[in-house]
Structure 1
């Protein structure tokens, strides 16, 4: 195929790829159609570290190990109560800084509003 790019002529040969017919995937208007795969790409037997050709016993053992690891990970996460306590402490710290900034500016209106918010949060 002859092509031109910015005045330069060149010839481009489209590489041919050997295709393999896969199993029948379905029918369209009464005709079977198949998936086609490039020959140079091997079919993967692994996905995400899991080998598809393992026996059931090995898979059951892997599930037990995975469940044990998952339970270890869950135990390391903070509880909802701990997260709520940290969140409340952060809000109180922010309110305190805002009060200090309002005092430095001499903004009495903002100080009253922050005091009301302080009481609502029970800091």
Structure 2
């Protein structure tokens, strides 16, 4: 096909697209229409080895060989994170004492009001805390 653009003539041969008729038919403005689709040709995809958050992967599905694991170095744990059994026991004892004192105070107030059902519930709670 002879074309001219801004005074320059050239011969343009558009690429031929291999198409396939579809099994689907339809109507466009009252006339039957057959749909044509381009025949798919496989295009080789480039293979890249990529890294995401330190893990390597490949776009072509191959799994790269893992890097050798380096021996880990010992980590010094700060004092604040070390388990200190004596301080834990002291905190637990203080916590239970506070629960017991609170229950006793509530029990005394329930007895003053004369609420027998609440008195029974609080006595059961004190038995559970004591055991």
TM-score between both structures, scaled by the size of structure 1: 0.37
The structure with the larger Rg is: 2
Higher relative contact order by CA 8 Å / sep ≥ 6: 1 or 2?
A: 1
Q: Greater helix percent: which structure? A: 1
